[in-house]
């Protein structure tokens, strides 16, 4: 008959079993870190976990993305689009790594959404500089972003979570369409202008579908109308957030009034 274990022995056995289960997970994270450390020296910093390193990499790549996309050559612009794609991929990858390898930290909870907003803000500023969209649209979108961010801070102070709703998700989706579509149209315009100067005429001769394609590529309609819809949804979703949580805002104002000497 097997002897009964004492409480301490059972605890040690439980920890050993848990360690055996998590060992493959840790080994997988270590191998992934070594693979990524080949092109990126940032991943050789072992005091920062892999998920947070991916987030920091996304922020570090933003100046390179801006410099390449604003370049005069077509190759530079396509490379800038590629760097943007890498940044977008790390946005998914850092979340997957954090959940899969149990690397969720308070640093990541704060910096991951901040890195996402910095990526979108950088792209929108480049659009304004290149004349793809007017500046007032970006002002409206980021006025809303900062206002909702402040509301989230107020909610967190009262131990509430401001979850994203359907309006906010639709706004974000339209922003992605505007940014990605705008970059593709811009790169295709410059590529066609350099390779086939009469591409507008050739597309127009292909019928109605060719004429529509020429109009879309020859103008900034895709980023303009998508960004306009995103700005409109930003206003609607911002109003919805504040109307749904107006009681919290009033409570904070009342507390501030009582504390004011």
Q: State the chain's mean pLDDT as an integer.
A: 82
Q: Determine whether 154 is exposed, middle or buried from the number of CB atoms within 10 Å of its CB (0-12, 13-18, 19+).
A: middle
User: Does residue 134 fall inside a structural domain?
Assistant: yes
- pLDDT of res. 249: 79
Q: Are residues 111 and 132 in the same domain?
A: no
More confident residue, 254 or 230: 230
pLDDT in tens, 19-60: 555 566 666 666 666 666 555 666 666 677 888 888 999 999
pLDDT in tens, 154-212: 887 777 777 777 888 888 888 888 999 999 999 999 998 888 888 778 877 888 877 78
- pLDDT of res. 38: 56
Q: Decide which of 117, 141, 176 is a domain's last residue.
A: 117
The answer to whether the CB of 223 falls within 8 A of the CB of 132 is yes
Q: Is the pLDDT of residue 250 over 90?
A: no
The Cα 30–Cα 45 span in angstroms is 12
The answer to whether the CB of 227 falls within 8 A of the CB of 176 is no
pLDDT in tens, 105-122: 888 888 888 899 999 999
Q: Decide which of 89, 117, 145 is a domain's last residue.
A: 117
Q: Are residues 193 and 107 in the same domain?
A: no
Domain count, the chain: 2
Q: Are residues 73 and 136 in the same domain?
A: no
Q: Are residues 93 and 66 in the same domain?
A: yes
Q: What's the domain range around 233?
A: 125-261
Residue 6: pLDDT band by 50, 70, 90 thresholds? low
Q: Which of these, 105, 103, 101, 104, lies nearest to 23 by C-alpha position?
A: 101
């Amino acid at each position: 008959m097997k002897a009964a274990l004492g409480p301490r022995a059972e605890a040690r056995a439980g920890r050993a079993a848990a360690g055996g289960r998590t060992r493959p997970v840790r080994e997988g994270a270590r191998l992934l870190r070594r693979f990524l450390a080949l092109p990126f020296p940032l991943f050789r910093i072992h005091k920062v976990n892999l998920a947070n390193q991916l987030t920091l990499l996304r922020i570090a790549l933003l100046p390179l993305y801006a410099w390449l996309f604003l370049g005069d050559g077509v190759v530079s612009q396509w490379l800038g689009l590629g760097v943007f794609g890498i940044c977008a991929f790390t946005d998914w990858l850092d979340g997957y790594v954090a959940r899969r390898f149990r690397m969720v930290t308070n640093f990541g909870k704060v910096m991951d959404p901040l890195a996402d907003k910095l990526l979108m803000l950088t792209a929108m500023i480049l659009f304004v500089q290149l004349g793809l969209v007017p500046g007032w649209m970006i002002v409206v979108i980021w006025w809303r972003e900062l206002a909702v961010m402040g509301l989230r801070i107020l909610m967190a102070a009262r131990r509430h979570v401001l979850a994203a709703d359907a309006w906010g998700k639709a706004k974000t989706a339209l922003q992605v369409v505007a940014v990605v579509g705008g970059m593709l149209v811009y790169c295709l315009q410059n590529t066609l202008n350099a390779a086939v100067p009469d591409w507008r005429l050739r597309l127009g001769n292909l019928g109605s579908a060719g004429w529509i394609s020429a109009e879309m590529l020859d103008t900034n309609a895709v980023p303009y109308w998508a960004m306009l819809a995103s700005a409109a949804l930003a206003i609607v979703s911002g109003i919805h957030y504040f109307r749904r949580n107006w009681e919290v805002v009033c409570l904070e104002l009342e507390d501030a009034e009582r504390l004011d000497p």
